[in-house]
Structure 1
Amino acid sequence: MKTEPTLILSEEDIKIKIKRIALQILETCLEDESIVIAGIEKNGATLATLISEEIKKISDQTIVPVRVKLDKKNPLQSIEVSLESSAYENKSLILIDDVLNTGSTLMFAAKHFLEVPLKQFKTAVLVDRNHKNYPIKADFKGISLSTSLNERVEVNFESPARAELV
């Protein structure tokens, strides 16, 4: 028996969470001239863009956008990054994805960035499901959600934006 998705975040809720995450990032990177915002494709990159736009509204700090592409089903394959590593070396870097489930996607993307000396490294997610199999946490999160392993969280940034438990 298939059940209807349960709305966990409305479009307005998501906007509020994004603004709060942006403020937390700014607070953490207050002394930095620029902040590297790395979004994991596809939804993580969309969330990273929305957070970057929010930061730009309230700060003069330069935002350096980075797109991270990896095969989520086989994260040991090569990771593609839209920026040379020298561009984020010794800078504060925030790695962003939409949902933190087991932690594998965030962990393998983090491994790539941690091979370069950084000023600081933080992670941000919209939804933290608390099912981590890897030793990684979200430094900034919109919502923590306890779910069963059978459930899925889907984030849709199309209008109206929403996050649902499926």
Structure 2
Amino acid sequence: MVFTQENRILDHHQILQKIKRMAFEIYEHNFEEKQLVLAGIHENGYFLAQRLAQELRAISPLEVTLLEVRLHKTEPLTHDIAISPVLPSLTNTAVVLVDDVLNTGKTLAYTLRAFLDKDCKKLEIATLVNRHHTRYPISATYTGYSLATTLREHIRVVLAEEEWNAYLL
């Protein structure tokens, strides 16, 4: 895969702006909550959840808990979903699942099963880029960047230490 200036759709500064705006939206929809759980899907989703947690702590009194969700993305039914740290309960807690790209919705749909039996107060989805090719009944509550693409095109989000970019390939 070739990452170039021509196929970059978001740079470091733009990604930070999107995260900040998403944090404000999340707070606006959850301002009555005392606690909020951000559950980031390994690896980029968790990194984004960390940044969202930072922003939320800076702008709100919410007690933000961060979880990392690990699942086998190509064979989700044959492997367990791991959530760490393990919380004693999510009953009556608002939860936001976080991932970098919403493509078909498969990853998020399978991740939902780990939270459906936890009696969450509400379960929302935040994604940096939404491609609008969902095949599963999943929609993002919070989206950083919405982009209509062809089925042959792909989005690659790079969240390395010094380089944060999103590319259309």
Specify the code of the residue in structure 2 equivalent to 1:24: E
Counterpart position of 1:162: 165
Distance (whole Å) between structure 1 residues aligned to residue 89 and residue 24 of structure 2: 24
Question: 2:123 pairs with 121, 124, 128, which one?
Answer: 121
Alignment partner of 1:110: what SS? helix
Gap runs ≥5 in structure 2: none
Specify the code of the residue in structure 1 equivalent to 2:32: E
- Equivalent pair of 1:75/1:104 in contact (CA under 8 Å): no
Could you state the TM-score of these two structures normalised by the residue count of structure 1? 0.94
Aligned-residue offset at 1:75: 1.5
Aligned-residue offset at 1:85: 5.0
| Percent of paired sites with the same residue | 37
Distance (whole Å) between structure 2 residues aligned to residue 127 and residue 85 of structure 1: 28
Could you state the TM-score of these two structures normalised by the residue count of structure 2? 0.93
Alignment partner of 2:68: what SS? strand
Aligned-residue offset at 1:165: 0.6
Cα RMSD after superposing both structures: 1.5
Question: 1:84 pairs with 86, 106, 109, which one?
Answer: 86
Instruction: Provide the aligned length of Structure 1 versus Structure 2.
Output: 165
Alignment partner of 1:109: what SS? helix
Distance (whole Å) between structure 1 residues aligned to residue 118 and residue 53 of structure 2: 22
Distance (whole Å) between structure 2 residues aligned to residue 104 and residue 62 of structure 1: 30
Alignment partner of 2:157: what SS? strand
What stretches of structure 1 move > 4 A for 4+ residues in a row? 2-5
Alignment partner of 2:88: what SS? helix
